[in-house]
Amino acid sequence: MQTSNFKSTPLFLFCILLLISCNKREDDNPSDEQEVKISTITVNGVALDNGATGISIEPAFTIQFSSVVDNTKLAAAVKLTQGTQEIGKAIGLTDGGLKLVVVPAEVLAYTTPYTLKVEAGELGPDGQQLLTTFEVSFTTEIEPVPSFSAGDGSLSSPYSISTAEELDLVRYFPDNHYQLSTDINVQDVIAGDPSGWLPIGTLSHPFTGTFEGNGFTITGLMVQRTLRTNQGLFGVLAGNGAIRDLHLVKADVTGGSPIGALVGRVVEGRIESCSSTGTVSSVGSKAGGLVGSLEKGVISRSSSTSKIVGEGGMVGGLVGEVGDGTVEISFATGNIRAFGTEAGGLIGAVRENSLVKNCYATGEVIVLREGGGLIGHLAGTANSGYAIGAITIEDENQNGDFVGHAIGQMAISGSTNAIYYPSNQVINYNGSSMINTTGTAIDINSLSCSNPNMIFPYLDFSTVWSCKSSRNWISLSWE
């Protein structure tokens, strides 16, 4: 018996060592709960296969993970490359941390191979790991050629646009000149893409031509790009760029900062006799019913009835921010909801060297602080106009909340002349700073259209303003 026990000892020890070794290997490899897997990847809402061709030069990639991942750990793990060169990008998590959206910082080059990679390593908030590097390669689309029903793109013979497909081509030739020849619905060209319409003009390739709407409308506009800046029908207008007599109906635009239904960002240019209806929603700042940011240029004889919602500041019924430009003979009637500062029924913020004249706003304004019926923050000049909308200031726990009947906060450089508001205007405010009463309070019930200058003594009713008995307040002559 003693000899038998001795002979079995090596076998027993071997089994023990084998069991320890197996347990060790299990500990070295994450369990299913500790492993992150990539299930699907799409580009602009369509499945992306390795080696795909014809991919948009402005793609938005969505990567679906099997478990929640950490945005800070992904920042270094996700790479978009062209050869050995890494491309700048913005990333953001959605769906509770299960989906990652990757957006290149600039448009990609045509007919060029790229690689999107997620490197193996710890990606989850509790140590979850991607065991194998994920990689997918693709090639961008071929540069399109002009294909319009008429014209040669010159100022004297602009391209004629009669279909949504032709309108979709404009972004590829932003230096040319165009005119609409009919009303257009863009729903068909954006069908199947959850991101919707791709704006015309980027910061690196802005729209610098002219676009004559000829009084026609564009309907069906939908944009859903929360990680993208400069969103709207047009992304960026610059140089001698101009948009005239174009009307957007029931637009639905969501994006980053700046954002507007017609143009996200006007670096320089002119917008004349344009309008918008619908909704504009910004996850950032500088949101306007027509234009997000007017850095330099002119907006004239234009309007918006759009509802505006902004998570940040500088939110306006017509324009989010005016940096060094002019807004004239225009109006806005949409309601404003801003979760930041500087919101106005017409413009969120007007900076130095800017002019607002012969304009009005009627929408309600709800903002954290710095809210006015016409302008939230004024450092430039505002002349000849009025505001009648109710104003609510939500931040009531600190000094300097700033609210005003027409102007929320007036900077030292700001100035006004002939600005009016109703004597019974509603202001919901319990803060510590005084209400800004810049302007003149009037009783609109005393208005007589036979002599409107009795209560609006400094407004021009011969060429600019109009008084109609069918309107509660005065209007602009061009309406």
The secondary structure of 28-88 as a DSSP string is: HS--GGGEE-EEEEEETTEE--TTEEEE-SS--EEEEESS---HHHHHHHEEEEETTEEPP
Does the pLDDT of residue 29 top 80, yes or no?
Answer: no
pLDDT band at 18 (very low <50, low <70, confident <90, very high): very low
**Per-residue CA distances from 433 to 9, 11, 120, 221 (Å):** 88, 87, 55, 42
Which pLDDT score is estimated for 87?
93
Which pLDDT score is estimated for 107?
83
Q: What is the domain partition of the chain in residue ranges? A: 32-140, 159-476
User: Which of 14-18, 154-158, 200-204, 219-223 is the least confident region?
Assistant: 14-18
The dotted CATH code for 159-476 is 2.160.20.110
Which pLDDT score is estimated for 32?
59
Residue count of the chain, please give it.
479
Cα-Cα-Cα-Cα torsion 206, 209, 213, 217, nearest 10 degrees, comes to -20
User: If you average pLDDT over every residue of the chain, what do you get?
Assistant: 91
Which pLDDT score is estimated for 396?
67
Does the pLDDT of residue 59 top 60, yes or no?
Answer: yes
Which residues have CB under 8 Å from 314's CB, separation 6+?
285, 286, 287, 293, 320, 321, 340, 342, 343, 348, 349, 376
Single-letter code of the amino acid located at 303: S
CATH of 32-140, one of 3.10.20.30, 3.40.50.300, 1.10.10.10, 2.60.40.1220: 2.60.40.1220
Which residues have CB under 8 Å from 116's CB, separation 6+?
41, 61, 78, 79, 80, 102, 135, 136, 137, 138
Average pLDDT score over residue span 205-213: 97
Which pLDDT score is estimated for 425?
95
Structure-block tokens of residue 298? 């002119």
Average pLDDT score over residue span 104-119: 92
Which pLDDT score is estimated for 33?
65
Which pLDDT score is estimated for 399?
57
The more confidently predicted of residues 24 and 386 is 386
Percentage of residues in the chain with pLDDT exceeding 90? 77
Average pLDDT score over residue span 342-371: 97
Does the pLDDT of residue 23 top 60, yes or no?
Answer: no
What confidence tens digit (pLDDT) does each residue in 159-184 have?
999 999 999 999 999 999 999 999 99
What confidence tens digit (pLDDT) does each residue in 121-135 have?
999 988 889 999 999
Does the pLDDT of residue 78 top 90, yes or no?
Answer: yes
Does the pLDDT of residue 187 top 90, yes or no?
Answer: yes
Structure-block tokens of residue 195? 């991101």
Which pLDDT score is estimated for 397?
63
pLDDT band at 31 (very low <50, low <70, confident <90, very high): low
Q: How far is residue 186's CA from residue 179's CA, in Å, rounded to a whole number?
A: 16
User: pTM of the entire structure?
Assistant: 0.81
pLDDT band at 457 (very low <50, low <70, confident <90, very high): very high
